[in-house]
Amino acid sequence: MTPRTLLAVTLLCSAGLIGLSLAPSAQAASDAAASTAATQLSVSNGWVRWLPNGLPEAGYLSIANNGEQAIDLLGASSPDFGNVMLHQSIGNGSTMRMIMVDKLTIPAHGKVDIAPGGYHLMLMAATHPIAPGATVQVVLKFSDGKTLTTVLPVRSAGGQ
Amino acid sequence: MQAPTVPTFQNALDRARHVAHRLPRRLWRSLAAGALTLCLAACQQPPDWKLTDVSGHMPDLQFSLTSDSGTPITEAAFKGDITLVFFGYTNCPDVCPETMARLSQVMQQLGADAKHVRIAFISVDPHRDTPAILHAYVHAFDAEHAVGLTGSDKAIANLARRYRVAYELGKPGPDGNYEVDHSAAIYIFDGQSHIRLMATDNDSAEVLVHDLRLLVANAT
């Protein structure tokens, strides 16, 4: 957790404890929005496949939308990686290729799986050494302007 | 000068008759039974493969590349073992690691039979995939059975053409990173370097284990 998010969480907790209905800072306001989004969107089955040599790694997770409206995943970032992109592996006959994905729609009362062989978060340029057993933080940005922060465990190359 | 004596087919036949005369009847019977068993084994239905049987449809395994230890390597290094050949590249974060992870699961499930099976990961991105990078990469999945292979552009291109593997280097992005479109097939060769089976990314570890056990049983 970065000092900034730690501060935001601390502020949020304090806000909750003293019963303030107004968010005390801009940062906390955006996190408050994230928690609103979280009431509609939930993340599960998240993990990252570790690879040696600082190679690009893939992040996987499922996003469920319990709301009445479809929501698009528009982007992702991570304090642990310099660059995060949403990619899709597409089998074209016998050849596999990867394409960049601008948005991924999570239907109302639906779920999408960002899972091996399909969509994946391409995590590039790690900001510090990452090893199996660690966790990384990913911030997902959605079309309603809200963000959702999730923590993904890092598994071995074999996915265990 | 006297010509060397070359045994003719007739000589051999005569000799066989001579031996046959001296065989007791009981031994004759057991020989006949043995011949019948041999014929049954040879004439029986081909094994019930779950993967695609491509025997005879592709050339034998043959290459001259550099192993992940940095030394020259040819197909001779895999003689006697069943070899799973996969073309990929280490900067591929999704399909290649997923395939390698599946192959390492296959090895675990094979148990004792895994000692007859090897994994050859052939890079289609030889500029970025140095032997050292390949070494760390394949060892992250299966240090015991996997070998990473790289080589010159020409050697890789020739090998890919030999097995009709399509691959294409993408345009580098602003950060210099690029993707490589490539075949995700797994080519399975027997201990004599003959092509036997092909698997795709849709074939589960269980399906691979099933067919590899049959191949190992046929070979031993």
Question: Domain for residue A105, yes or no?
Answer: yes
0.90 exceeded by the pTM? Answer: no
Cβ of residue B160 closer than 8 Å to a chain A Cβ:
no
As a whole number, mean pLDDT of residues A117-127 equals 95
Q: Tell me whether residue A104 is in a domain.
A: yes
Q: What is residue A20's predicted lDDT score, i.e. its pLDDT?
A: 33
Q: Is residue A38 part of a domain?
A: no
Assess if residue A85 is contained within a domain: yes
Q: Residue A95: which CATH number? A: 2.60.40.1890
Give the ipTM of the model, two decimals please: 0.74
Contacts of B64 (CB under 8 A, 6+ apart): B72, B73, B74, B151, B155
A49–chain B Cβ distance below 8 A for any pair:
yes
Domain count for chain A: 1
Residue A50 at interface with chain B, using a CB cutoff of 8 Å: yes
The residue range of the domain holding A102 is 43-154
**What share of chain A in percent tops pLDDT 70?**
74
Instruction: Answer whether residue B1 shows pLDDT above 50.
Output: no
B133 closest CB neighbour out of A53, A87, A120: A53
Helix (H) and strand (E) counts for chain B?
6, 10
Distance CA B212, CA B140 (A): 22
Instruction: Test A51 with B97 for CB contact under 8 angstroms.
Output: yes
CA distance A39 to B214: 52
Q: Are B188 and B215 in contact (CB under 8 A)?
A: yes
- Domain membership of residue A28 (yes or no) is no
Least confident window among B9-18, B28-37, B47-56: B9-18
In a domain, A142, yes or no: yes
Q: What is the pLDDT of residue B28?
A: 57
CB-CB contact of B162 with B59 (8 Å): yes
- pLDDT of amino acid B171: 79
Banded model confidence at residue B31, pLDDT cuts 50, 70, 90 = low
DSSP calls for B187-203? EEE-TTS-EEEEE-TTS
The CA distance from B84 to B103, in Å, is 9
